Amino acid sequence: SAVISQKPSRDICQRGTSLTIQCQVDSQVTMMFWYRQQPGQSLTLIATANQGSEATYESGFVIDKFPISRPNLTFSTLTVSNMSPEDSSIYLCSVEPGRSQETQYFGPGTRLLVL
Partner 1 sequence: AQKITQTQPGMFVQEKEAVTLDCTYDTSDPSYGLFWYKQPSSGEMIFLIYQGSYDQQNATEGRYSLNFQKARKSANLVISASQLGDSAMYFCAMRGNQAGTALIFGKGTTLSVSS
Binding site for partner 1 (CB under 8 A): 30-31, 33, 37, 41-45, 48, 50, 90, 92, 94, 96, 99, 101-106, 108-109, 111
| DSSP letters for the chain | ---EEEE-SEEEE-TT--EEEEEEESS--SEEEEEEE-TT--EEEEEEEETTS--EEPTT--TTTS-EEEEETTEEEEEE-S--GGG-EEEEEEE--TT--S--EE---EEEEE-
Residue 111 CB, shortest distance to partner 1, in Å, is 6
Contact, 55 vs 41, CB < 8 A? Answer: no
Residue 16 CB, shortest distance to partner 1, in Å, is 25
Residue 104 CB, shortest distance to partner 1, in Å, is 6
Nearer to partner 1, 12 or 82 (CB): 12
Residue 107 CB, shortest distance to partner 1, in Å, is 8
Nearer to partner 1, 6 or 77 (CB): 6
Nearer to partner 1, 82 or 104 (CB): 104
